[in-house]
């Protein structure tokens, strides 16, 4: 009888904990605001990369914007991809030129990065992305502080980072040739 009492006591405490957690989650869901987006105005929207960061899909009443090759695109028609919780949310509010050229969406170093180190294959892949974005999304402005000059590319292929980038770029070019074009 002694063990039955303690078993029932601990079972009741655990059940109360689960009930409290469920109620807490329900109240949290009600308090969560739903983010609604609006389309950006096509025109002379000139922003710095710091100002572009405010258009990351997390603020109601603002469009979701990305920059590619210095051009700002409104990607709101793909809000499920670029908005909060979307597969490409890490792109929202950033210059994604290097990320697209290197076919890498996971490295933060690829966002708002200098373009001067892009190799010829990366530039080829970037041109394909630029064509795709221009066809799919409206260009709404320009980024004023991005590095748009393609300078000399490093000749050395030392280090795993360079090898991984070359592989990713080749993979990206292959994806475009088979599935997108």
Looking at domain 45-180, which CATH architecture does it have?
Answer: Roll (3.10)
Q: What is the pLDDT of residue 74?
A: 92
Separation CA 83–CA 113 (nearest Å): 22
Q: Are 51 and 57 in contact (CB under 8 A)?
A: no
Q: Which residue has the higher pLDDT, 84 or 171?
A: 84
At 12, list the tokens.
């009741």
User: For residue range 29-55, what is the model confidence (pLDDT) as tens digits?
Assistant: 554 445 555 556 656 678 888 899 999
Q: Is the pLDDT of residue 28 over 70?
A: no
Q: Is the pLDDT of residue 73 over 90?
A: yes
User: For residue range 152-165, what is the model confidence (pLDDT) as tens digits?
Assistant: 333 334 444 555 56
Beta strands 45-47; 139-143: pairing state: parallel
Listed by start position, the domains of the chain span 1-32, 45-180
Q: Is the pLDDT of residue 82 over 60?
A: yes
Q: Is the pLDDT of residue 1 over 90?
A: no
User: For residue range 120-136, what is the model confidence (pLDDT) as tens digits?
Assistant: 888 888 889 999 999 99
Separation CA 167–CA 103 (nearest Å): 9
How much is the pTM? 0.67
């Amino acid at each position: 009888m002694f063990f039955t009492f303690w078993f029932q006591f601990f079972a009741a405490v655990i059940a109360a904990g689960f009930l409290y957690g469920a109620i807490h989650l329900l109240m949290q869901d009600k308090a969560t605001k739903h983010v609604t987006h609006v389309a950006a105005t096509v025109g002379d929207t000139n922003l710095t990369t710091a100002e572009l960061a405010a258009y990351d899909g997390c603020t109601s009443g603002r469009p979701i914007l990305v920059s590619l090759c210095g051009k700002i695109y409104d990607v709101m028609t793909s809000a499920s991809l670029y908005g909060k919780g979307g597969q490409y949310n890490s792109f929202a509010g950033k210059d994604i030129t290097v990320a697209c050229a290197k076919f890498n969406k996971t490295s933060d170093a690829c966002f708002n990065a200098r373009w001067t180190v892009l190799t010829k294959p990366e530039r080829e892949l970037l041109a394909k992305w630029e064509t795709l974005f221009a066809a799919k999304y409206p260009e709404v402005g320009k980024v004023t502080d991005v590095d748009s000059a393609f300078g000399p590319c490093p000749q050395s292929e030392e280090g795993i980072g360079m090898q991984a980038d070359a592989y990713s770029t080749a993979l990206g070019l292959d994806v475009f040739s088979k599935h997108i074009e």
